Amino acid sequence: MPTKIEPFYEALGSHLQVTREQRKMTQAQLGAALNPPATRASIANIENGKQRVLVHTLAQLAQCLNVSIEALMPATPSAKAPSAQDVERELKKKLKLPAPALKKLTAQLANHRKGSHS
């Protein structure tokens, strides 16, 4: 089963696809316009949120489509901070720490957040 890429890249890919289609470009044409060139499959993977995009590639994609980088970026989510449970879930997934160490780290992060908002 393929690895799921972050929602950011799904939204970025969707914006890229819409913009490319508005410009009446094929995936192959867009890929060929990059330096170094990218395959049609690579552009398809980016548009489907299955492949991350390097910053210099994002800049080239925007230039090839004659738009600003910001035009390709997903809308920013609300300024709502993630909950402690969200943070803990993400840390557990990424760091694979035992539960006591995870709780300690989460508490330290929460204390740090409180201190930075004073």
Could you tell me the pLDDT band of residue 78, with boundaries at 50, 70 and 90? very low
Contacts of 71 (CB under 8 A, 6+ apart): 15, 19, 62
What structural domains does the chain harbor?
7-72 (1.10.260.40), 84-116 (no CATH)
What percentage of the chain has pLDDT greater than the value 70? Answer: 81
Rounded to a whole number of angstroms, the CA Rg of the chain reads 19
Is the pTM higher than 0.85? The answer reads no
Residues near 36 by Cβ (< 8 Å), separated by ≥ 6?
none
Summarised one tens digit per residue, pLDDT across range 86-105 is 767 777 777 777 878 777 77
